[in-house]
């Protein structure tokens, strides 16, 4: 088929597209049923009501260890006038769960019974009818309804079903979903060697992510081998799927507007397209159609887009076919740490990190690119920005859907400020030391960290701000920008900052002055970061105008992003820490050894989480692991400077 570009001519709103999917689901109800053994039925949806076949207990049984009696035989018993009973006649030893002997209706606990040397049984208090007895049907009465149609079986349900005499149940058949990954650039994880993988190849992961999401919803998936970007090949795969056993088909990739995006054309030729493009981000390019009366989705290739499309359409469809609700998330109010802009006309799903700082629950946006899978794995929640507004203000609370338990968010140490590789080690060591606590770091630069402390938006901030007047670090900035906030300054590391260049230094960069050469493409850190301030200080010393540096305006937010840009060939040099260069096997040209500290508001300093964190910072294990990164000095690590 001839390649062509596609244009979204008639995008649907999210609500409209969800209604269409709901109507598609209604046409496929009900699914066929099957029988499942009760012990294996957890997670399955009951296809019919289940009624008890047995009562539980099925007989009167002892609820305590003791003696079973007819209560009337003990009436009048008192400490001064005990009743004497005879074993085997009007007193019977029983253990918990034993069936009560005939003509008994109560159990006296063994510790309330006196047994003489000659075996006589005396009781000094009367028993009451049915005291310490589980009567027939106390839990379940035969013929009563245990669970209704569409009930999802839980581990707890197994006990009730078995106790009620049910060993098999009729359940909804699991919807069968075929996942077809497409893309000539994709490499299969089962036959890929990282060391020999060709440039331009991408490890296919979306099918494995969506497949496990299918399982979590109660469906059953099979993964088709990767299909290249060829219209006829994709068409044949979809055609075979809809003529086979599958209820839903997912075509991964090729749903957008590129010349080799064939999902929409395939669905259109084989069946009918109901939606091509939804006013949501990520996930806009989704295709929703029906072929041979079966739902077929064109799922975007970017990982976060694929996940969002699943959560908004495919997961709810699977659950609707099974007659159960799609999982609802807890929602809490949060305060964005900064303004979050958004596009009018698109409903945006912003992934955020969340923590409780004092009396505020704060949310910091993560990278919003649809290709950043870590923006989901690192997220604590999702903020939805409606399609009729242009963004969110930092001063107004908004709702966030939680991706983690609220209890874990309350124990999160929120770090905002400058990036350093040692923070990753600190996060791991903190979790290992005390599983209650976790570290959530957002990289907005040293000045951004100080401003977050000033506004009460974090528990601590990483900073390495050089005072050009006296060569000191951080203290003068704290005095200038946080005059009304009592803080503690704790030294974390000394680290080597320098120019990161490709292995072998092919452009022969020797120092900052070489950045003015026309053939050198530079990658910069964002304004307000300590690294940016350091560069500008050195440029001022050398009397170099920043306009002379090609790429000065191109910014990244972390040292590892600088190293990645150099490693990929997108830049020839960037200022960053030695550890980042070493991690990606790049060369490093030292410029300065600097001081990296953490600023902690005094109101949080004595908290369990911060004291545990300080314990970790001072531990030999943390120090040894940081030193192994290269380019770090730890002689004063953990020292309180202010």
Per-residue pLDDT of 200-235, as tens digits, reads 889 999 999 999 999 999 999 999 999 999 999 999
CB 100 within 8 A of CB 131: no
CB 463 within 8 A of CB 477: yes
SS3 93: strand
Domain(s) labelled CATH 2.170.190.11 in the chain stretch across 61-134
Give the list of residues 6+ apart from residue 608 with CB closer than 8 angstroms, or none.
437
Q: Which pair of structure tokens corresponds to residue 194? A: 């990282």
Domain(s) labelled CATH 2.40.340.10 in the chain stretch across 331-410
| Phi/psi of residue 113, nearest 5 degrees | -115, 135
Domain(s) labelled CATH 3.40.980.10 in the chain stretch across 14-29+175-192+201-322
CB 525 within 8 A of CB 531: yes
Helices 231-242 and 263-270: angle between axes, nearest 10 degrees: 50
Q: Which pair of structure tokens corresponds to residue 442? A: 């957002």
CA distance 599 to 474: 9
Identify the DSSP state of 8.
-
Residue 6: predicted pLDDT: 55
Looking at the domain that runs over 61-134, which CATH code has it been given?
A: 2.170.190.11
Q: Which pair of structure tokens corresponds to residue 155? A: 């581990």
CB 335 within 8 A of CB 394: yes
Domain(s) labelled CATH 3.90.105.10 in the chain stretch across 33-56+139-172
Q: Single out the residue of 475, 445, 406, 457 nearest to residue 556, CA to CA.
A: 445
Residue found by looking up tokens 């799927």 in the block: 241
CB 82 within 8 A of CB 123: yes
Residue found by looking up tokens 């790429």 in the block: 551
Looking at the domain that runs over 422-633, which CATH code has it been given?
A: 3.40.190.290
Q: What class, spelled out in words, does domain 33-56+139-172 have in CATH?
A: alpha beta
Element (H, E) at 593: strand 587-601
Helices (H), 569-642: 578-583, 602-605, 608-617, 620-627
Report in angstroms the alpha-carbon separations of 556 from 371, 523, 551, 562: 17, 7, 11, 6
What pTM was computed for the model? 0.84
Residue 1: predicted pLDDT: 46
Domain covering 14-29+175-192+201-322: architecture: 3-Layer(aba) Sandwich (3.40)
Residue 520: half-sphere exposure toward Cβ, Cα within 13 Å: 25
Residue 117: predicted pLDDT: 73
**Chunked in runs of 10, what are the mean pLDDT values of the chain (642 residues)?**
54 94 87 95 95 94 95 92 91 95 95 83 93 93 95 96 97 96 92 82 95 96 95 96 95 71 91 94 94 95 95 96 90 92 92 93 86 87 93 90 92 92 94 93 90 94 91 94 96 96 96 95 92 92 95 93 95 95 95 95 96 97 95 95 94
Q: Are strands 340-341 and 272-276 parallel, antiparallel or unpaired?
A: unpaired
Q: Which pair of structure tokens corresponds to residue 144? A: 């009563």
Domain 331-410 has CATH 2.60.40.10: no
Q: Which residues pair with 155 in a beta bridge?
A: none
Long-range contacts of 392-398 (CB under 8 A, 24+ apart): 392/336, 392/339, 392/340, 392/342, 393/336, 393/339, 394/335, 394/336, 394/337, 394/338, 394/339, 395/335, 396/335, 397/333, 397/334, 397/335, 398/333, 398/334, 398/335, 398/336, 398/363
């Amino acid at each position: 088929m001839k390649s062509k570009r596609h244009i979204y001519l008639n995008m649907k709103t999210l609500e409209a597209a969800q209604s269409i999917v709901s109507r598609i689901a209604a046409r496929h109800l009900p699914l066929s049923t099957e029988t499942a053994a009760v012990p294996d039925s957890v997670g399955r949806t009951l296809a019919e009501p289940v009624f008890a076949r047995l009562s539980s207990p099925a007989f009167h049984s002892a609820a305590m260890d003791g003696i079973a009696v007819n209560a009337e035989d003990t009436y009048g018993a008192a400490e001064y006038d005990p009743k004497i009973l005879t074993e085997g006649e009007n007193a019977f030893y029983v253990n918990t769960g034993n069936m009560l002997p005939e003509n008994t209706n109560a159990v006296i606990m063994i510790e309330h019974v006196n047994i003489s040397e000659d075996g006589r049984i005396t009781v000094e208090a009367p028993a009451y009818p049915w005291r310490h007895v589980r009567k027939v049907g106390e839990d379940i009465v035969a013929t009563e309804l245990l669970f209704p149609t569409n009930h999802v079986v839980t581990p707890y349900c197994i006990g009730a079903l078995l106790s009620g005499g049910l060993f098999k149940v009729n359940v909804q058949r699991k919807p069968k979903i075929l996942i077809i990954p497409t893309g000539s650039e994709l490499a299969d994880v089962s036959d890929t060697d990282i060391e020999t993988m060709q440039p331009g190849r991408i490890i296919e992961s979306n099918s494995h992510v969506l497949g496990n999401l299918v399982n979590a919803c109660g469906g059953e998936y099979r993964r088709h081998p990767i299909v290249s970007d060829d219209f006829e090949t994709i068409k044949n795969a979809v055609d075979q799927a809809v003529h086979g056993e599958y209820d839903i088909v997912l075509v991964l990739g090729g749903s957008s507007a590129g010349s080799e995006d064939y999902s929409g054309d395939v669905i259109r030729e084989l069946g009918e397209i109901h939606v091509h493009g939804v006013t949501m981000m990520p996930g806009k390019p989704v295709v929703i159609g029906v072929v041979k009366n079966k739902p077929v989705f064109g799922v975007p290739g970017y990982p976060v887009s694929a996940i969002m499309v699943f959560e908004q359409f495919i997961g709810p469809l699977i659950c609707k076919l099974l007659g159960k609700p799609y999982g609802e998330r807890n929602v809490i109010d949060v305060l964005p740490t900064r303004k979050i802009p958004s596009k009018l006309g698109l409903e945006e799903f912003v992934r955020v990190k969340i923590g409780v700082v004092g009396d505020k629950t704060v949310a910091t946006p993560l990278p919003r690119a649809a290709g950043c899978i870590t923006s989901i794995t690192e997220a604590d929640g999702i903020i939805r920005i409606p399609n009729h507004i242009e963004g969110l203000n930092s001063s107004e609370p908004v709702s966030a859907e939680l991706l983690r338990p609220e209890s874990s968010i309350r124990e999160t140490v929120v770090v905002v400020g400058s990036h350093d590789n040692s923070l990753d080690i600190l996060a791991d060591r903190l979790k290992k030391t005390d599983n209650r606590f976790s570290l959530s770091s957002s990289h907005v630069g040293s000045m951004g960290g100080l401003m977050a402390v000033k506004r009460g938006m974090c528990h601590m901030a990483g900073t390495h701000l050089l005072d050009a007047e006296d060569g000191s670090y951080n203290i003068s900035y704290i005095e200038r920008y946080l005059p009304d906030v009592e803080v503690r300054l704790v030294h974390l590391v000394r680290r080597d900052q320098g120019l990161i260049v490709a292995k072998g230094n092919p452009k022969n960069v020797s120092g900052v002055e070489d950045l003015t050469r026309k053939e050198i493409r530079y990658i910069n850190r964002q304004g307000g970061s300590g690294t940016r301030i350091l560069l500008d200080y050195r440029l001022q010393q050398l009397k170099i105008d920043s306009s002379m540096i090609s790429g000065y305006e191109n910014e990244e937010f972390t040292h590892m992003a600088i190293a990645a840009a150099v490693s990929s060939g997108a830049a020839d040099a960037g200022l960053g820490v030695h550890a980042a260069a070493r991690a990606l096997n790049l060369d490093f040209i030292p410029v300065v050894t600097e001081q990296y500290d953490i600023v902690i508001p005094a109101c949080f300093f004595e908290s369990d989480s911060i004291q545990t964190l300080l314990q970790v910072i001072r531990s030999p294990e943390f120090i040894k692991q940081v030193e192994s990164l290269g380019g770090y000095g730890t002689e004063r690590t953990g020292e309180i400077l202010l």
